[in-house]
Amino acid sequence: MPAALSAAFDKALALIAHDDAAVEAELGRMLAVDTSYPPGENYGSFADLIQAATAPAGFEHRRVVVPEELWRAPGARGERVNLIATRRTGKPVCSLYFHTDTVPPGEGWSVPPLGLTRDGDRLTGRGAADMKGTVAAALAAIRAADAAGLELAYDPALLLCTDEEGGAYPGIRYLAEQGLVEGHLLSFNGGAAPRIWAGCFGSIDLLIRVRGRGGHSGDPGNGVNALEAALPLLNALNALKPAVAARASAMPAPPHYGERPLHGLLTVAAVHAGQKGSSLPAVAEILVNRRYAPEERFEDVLAELQDVIDRAMETSPALGYDMETTGHLIPVEDPSGPHWPRWQAALAKGFGFTEFRPWGSSTSSDMGFVQRTGLREILLGGLTRPDNNTHAPDEFTTLTDVKALATSILAYLAADFAPDLMPTAQDGAQQ
């Protein structure tokens, strides 16, 4: 028989259920701070916002700035401010991870992207699902626990981190390498799904610059059109795509894949050249993204791309070219561990899930760098769903999902929830 939950727990659940106005207001303030990467500006302003929200609850704060020589990359600007918010009572620490950057808003929105638009249950804005809505959920859980006088099993440590969206040196990597990640780790860079995380692919962003010579398009003279000179390269990359996609991973695929396996991916994500019709572009920039499975070696993936690029450019009239890695996330491998059963129970409490299954993803995470420091178990939750336009125009989550995640976080942190599933120190509770 499960242990009975306390009156304080029931009161906290009721407070979350009726916390719509505070959730909406907090999320609106977060979405209004433009932390899109690139360029990754305003991290300090976002830290100010979270610090103001958590200080009344007794949290102490530490700002950790990633040195510029680590994260410097084309298009990246601004100080990389990571915020650690802790509240210590002597309990074991559970670190709750959030990335504070979003992808750029892009075109095609029906509502203002840098702000919250509520339509019934739907909450729309850049970062609503990925992943500022998860910060709002965690704050709602802590607010409810405090107001209800609920005893917690863990002291929460909030990690608000920079540059997950393809940055050269994610903030959580720096925190982990500096030994600043305490206890065990709960990442909210996942979805609202009955999932046991089986890991994810690595991701490489490669910027290729093809150089020509400017000239007048009506009288080009000795000009060299850099964009036209890049066509052999674009054709070669397109020809490589089927070979990359043929490399299947043994990692279990998500349910929506059906019987198809996870596989490598190559994307020409952006091409920039020229400014007006009367001028030949002197430089063409091509951004390539490569998703690679844990079975592939980073060095082999990069060498293959280098070889394809070099061979293609042998047939190009370009005056020169260069390439650089502007972002890299390494794969996450088997993040299971002793805390997962209790987190599954907490997700079931919040979302009503009844059956969990493991699967991985060809999307990527900065948690691979955390694993490399020795912290192998990583719990995963979040708000993303296949249909909520993550990384697309009109990204949204729902108030229902935010409150369900808040309930899951509350349950996981609460001392009287599923005590039989609480790992002992020997099992890894003090990791």
Q: Which residues are catalytic?
A: 101, 164
Structure tokens at 150: 């609920």
* 111 within 8 A of 376, measured Cβ to Cβ: no
Rounded Cα distance between 116 and 399, Å, is 12
Q: What is the CA radius of gyration of the chain?
A: 23
Give which of 382, 31, 323, 344 is closest to 200, Cα–Cα: 382
Rounded Cα distance between 272 and 227, Å, is 8
Rounded Cα distance between 22 and 16, Å, is 10
CA distances from 419 to 115, 153, 251, 405, 423 (A): 40, 9, 32, 20, 9
Q: What is the DSSP string of 164-231?
A: TTT-SS-HHHHHHHTT---SEEEEEEEESSSEEEEEEEEEEEEEEEEE-B-EETTB-TT-B-HHHHTH
* 278 within 8 A of 217, measured Cβ to Cβ: yes
Give the strand pairing for 378-384 and 283-292.
Answer: unpaired
List 184's β-bridge partners, or say none.
Answer: 94
Report CA dihedral (293, 164, 361, 428) to the nearest 10 degrees: 90
Rounded Cα distance between 131 and 99, Å, is 7
Neighbours of 392 (CB within 10 A): 12
Listed in sequence order, the residues at least 6 apart from 148 whose beta carbon sits closer than 8 Å to its beta carbon are 8, 9, 11, 12, 15
* 177 within 8 A of 373, measured Cβ to Cβ: yes
Kindly tell me the sign of the dihedral angle through the C-alpha atoms of 415, 416, 422, 424.
Answer: positive
Rounded Cα distance between 402 and 356, Å, is 20
Give backbone dihedrals phi and psi of 327, rounded to 5 degrees, phi first.
Answer: -160, 140
List 384's β-bridge partners, or say none.
Answer: 191
Rounded Cα distance between 101 and 342, Å, is 29
In 3-state terms, what secondary structure has residue 156?
strand
Rounded Cα distance between 282 and 220, Å, is 12
Rounded Cα distance between 376 and 374, Å, is 6
One-letter amino acid for residue 366 of the chain: D
